[in-house]
Amino acid sequence: MGRSRSRSSSRTKHTKSSKHSKKRSRSRSRSRDKEKSKKRSKSREAKRNRRRDSRSRSRSTTAPSRRERAASPPERIDIFGRTLSKRSALDEKQKKEEEEKRAEYERQRKIRQQEIEEKLIEEETARRVEELVAKRVEEELEKRKDEIEREVLRRVEEAKRIMERQLLEELERQRQAELAAQKARERILEENNRKIADAQARLAEEQLRIVEEQRRIHEERMKLEQERQRQQKEEQKMILGKGKSRPKLSFSLKVAE
């Protein structure tokens, strides 16, 4: 329906345009006729003037020349002052020009009509080709419907397997990374424990050395105290005169190494 309407509208437009072109051609022909009539009136006026001049000259010519002109048959002149032979030639020329114009107009009309018909044929051909292609595609899709569904399911299953494999690989990488991190933490903890044990051992050794040093100092003090007490006793004996001879006092102290 849309195609037929477009065709009818295009034909209507073409008819209207042809009518307008006819009107324009008629108006142009009328203006040309007016111009021609003006030119004709001017030419008639000029011919009348020439005839007056020729008549005045003919009166001054000799009698034999008048007799010769009288012997020759006079030319036939129409109401516009033109000779009939010239008028018929102009009419024939004008008629020929009008016929040529009509022929050219008809030729242009046929060309436009042919172009319109070719365009309509081209549009109709394109529409039919498009419909045929759409129909063939639909038929082909209907034939391959089951095959397409199977292919889609196969691709979905394949994509699912790939995603599962990638997920397992990612989980394995995470587990390995966690194990490596756990081992690293254990190594760090062992190293810290070893350092703590070494520090504790050094501290125990230092404490033992301090205790030994304190014990040695205590023993030295005890020895010094015993020596001092012994010397005091000897001095007391000497003072009391209990001894026959004064013993030599030794004030040297033994220092333990």
Residue 2 has pLDDT above 50, yes or no: no
Q: State which of 143, 166, 191 marks the end of a domain.
A: 143
95 and 54 in a common domain: no
61 and 30 in a common domain: yes
pLDDT the model gives residue 157: 92
Q: State which of 143, 164, 181 marks the end of a domain.
A: 143
pLDDT the model gives residue 46: 72
The first and second tokens of residue 115, run together, are 């172009």
pLDDT digits (tens, 9 = 90+) for 131-177: 999 988 888 888 788 888 888 899 999 999 999 999 999 999 999 99
Percent of the chain whose predicted confidence (pLDDT) is above 90: 37
82 and 69 in a common domain: no
Question: Does residue 225 lie in a domain region?
Answer: no
Pairwise CA distance, residues 36 & 15, whole Å: 31
Amino acid identity, position 137: V
The count of structural domains within the chain is: 3
Question: Does residue 234 lie in a domain region?
Answer: no
Kindly write down the DSSP assignment for every residue of 62-109, as one continuous string: -HHHHHHHHHSPPPPB-TTS-BHHHHHHHHHHHHHHHHHHHHHHHHHH
Question: Does residue 238 lie in a domain region?
Answer: no
82 and 99 in a common domain: yes
Question: Does residue 139 lie in a domain region?
Answer: yes
Maximal C-alpha separation, the chain: 230
pLDDT the model gives residue 55: 61
Question: Does residue 83 lie in a domain region?
Answer: yes
pTM value is 0.28
159 and 137 in a common domain: no
Question: Does residue 132 lie in a domain region?
Answer: yes
Lowest mean pLDDT among 35-39, 144-148, 243-247: 243-247
The average pLDDT across 202-229 equals: 91
57 and 79 in a common domain: no
Q: State which of 73, 92, 107 marks the end of a domain.
A: 73
Question: Does residue 6 lie in a domain region?
Answer: no
201 and 167 in a common domain: yes
91 or 212, greater pLDDT: 212
Kindly write down the DSSP assignment for every residue of 3-67, as one continuous string: HHHHHHHHHHHHHHHHHHHHHHHHHHHHHHHHHHHHHHHHHHHHHHHHHHHHHHHHHHS-HHHHH
Report CA-CA distances (Å) from 112 to 5, 107, 125: 19, 9, 20
Query: Which range marks the domain in which residue 156 is found?
Result: 150-208
Question: Does residue 94 lie in a domain region?
Answer: yes
pLDDT the model gives residue 178: 92
